[in-house]
Structure 1
């Protein structure tokens, strides 16, 4: 699925009033905090990483991010594209990012 397609599909579930930006910004912080909690429990408490729950929370975070971009009339595809360009500028040598 393309980012702009995701953004459009996700928008159909966006409800709110004049305070929608505040709501979605607080939502992204809340969901990101839940991602942090899962990673913290795994890293520091020795709990197994619940990939299903992590996938769910990452998806919720993605939804909020896409809707902040939607509110600001920014194509989500452009957000992703600019981020990759910045990463390529910052890390021109792919040897720096070995996570495998």
Structure 2
């Protein structure tokens, strides 16, 4: 499956764009689901002493799927292709690597 196929599939379960506050709903949903990923890791540190063999990979995969859904639907709301976003991101990272700028901070390094 390519990312645009996923994006089209995700849209089948998305609310209509014209729903009141839909953009805010999508942004907050993305942040919330990202927090749920972090929560899985927090519990892993707290309860499993950061033992990688006890990491809840299945639970994390489910939360990452929810993050992916929100990214796909939010991108569509903004008329952006998930494939294009991914391609542009990889090109940006490859450029940073070539220039020795992978570490550090700032969008335009």
* TM-score, normalised by the number of residues in structure 2: 0.79
2:27 aligns with 25
Deviations 1:44-90 (A, max 9, x none): 32523111100000000000000110001101100100110111111
Unaligned runs of 5+ in 2: 49-53, 103-109
Number of residues of Structure 1 aligned to a counterpart in Structure 2: 93
Greater gyration radius: 2
Unaligned runs of 5+ in 1: none
- Alignment of 1:85 onto 2:86: no
RMSD, matched Cα: 1.6
Which structure ranks higher in relative contact order (CA pairs < 8 Å, sequence separation ≥ 6)? Answer: 1
* TM-score, normalised by the number of residues in structure 1: 0.85
Q: Which aligned segments of 4 or more residues in structure 1 are displaced greater than 3 angstroms?
A: none
